[in-house]
Amino acid sequence: MQNLKELEAELALLKKYPKENLERIIKEVGFSCTCCGKCCTKAFNGHVFLLAEDARRLRTFSPESLMPAPDFPYSDPSGNFYVSGYALKTQENGDCVFLDETRHCRIYDQRFTICRVYPYMLHREPDCRGKIDWRQISGLDEHGEYDHLISDEECAEIARQTIAYETTFLEQEIAFHKAILQKFSDDGVRFVRKDHDLRLRAFLKTGKATVFVWDGSGFVKEEV
């Protein structure tokens, strides 16, 4: 988990990234989705993180499909955990709760921002040698088809949606970190990594915890 300064630096870099570079890469790769459904399975994506606006929308038609996103980065001395958003619940096999037995999305027309943007992305990640650089397409050569013709207009629209998603994601993370710093300061408590690791270990054993989830404007208390 990145700290506030690192997240703000990432957002500043993202804002400087030339949109035409992303458009060019989209055009060159020519990715075409074959609707195989792999990206909705545990094998491809550990969990599907939702932007706050998507979580709000999901709450209106299937609130039981929300869960606090895993990997809680903070906890307080009372043992409460904090996380920056919600994720989609999974089935017993780890696949998305909305994936049906024929590997199709049950709510395709209502699917979420990340489901629409995938596999496009625009954030910096280390490669297998640890070199950090921009990544634009997830799981390149592991799914879909390539070298299809994509019109300039479509490339521009994919790039626009991808950058909008990544910007909103970083803004949500930054807002969460600022809210945590403010809350801990107001409560006069301090985050202690060692204690947090012990709490996480206890949670892994019991599977039970109180988690405060950032919903874009405040924390929502959830019991897991």
Q: Does 35 bind ligand SF4 (CB under 6 A)?
A: yes
Distance CA 79, CA 195 (A): 9
184 in the Ramachandran plot: left (φ > 0), alpha (ψ -120 to 50) or beta? alpha
- Closest separation in Å from C-beta 44 to ligand SF4: 6
User: Does 67 sit near ligand SF4 (CB under 6 A)?
Assistant: no
User: Looking at 7-15, 105-113, 150-158, 207-215, which segment touches ligand SF4 (CB under 6 A)?
Assistant: 105-113
Comparing CB distances to ligand SF4, the nearer of 67 and 99 is 99
* CA–CA dist 137, 206 (Å, integer): 37
Q: How many helices (H) and strands (E) does the chain have?
A: 6, 8
115 is a site residue for ligand SF4 (CB under 6 A): yes
3-state secondary structure of 155: helix
Residue 180 in the binding site for ligand SF4 (CB under 6 A): no
Which lies closer to ligand SF4 via its Cβ, residue 58 or residue 83? 58
Neighbour count for residue 1 (Cβ, 10 Å): 12
Give min distance, CB of 191 to ligand SF4, in A: 32
How far is residue 68's CA from residue 52's CA, in Å, rounded to a whole number?
12
Q: How far is the CB of 89 from ligand SF4 (least distance, A)?
A: 10
Residue numbers at the binding site for ligand SF4 (CB under 6 A): 33-40, 48, 88, 96, 98-99, 105, 107, 111-112, 115, 118-119, 143-144
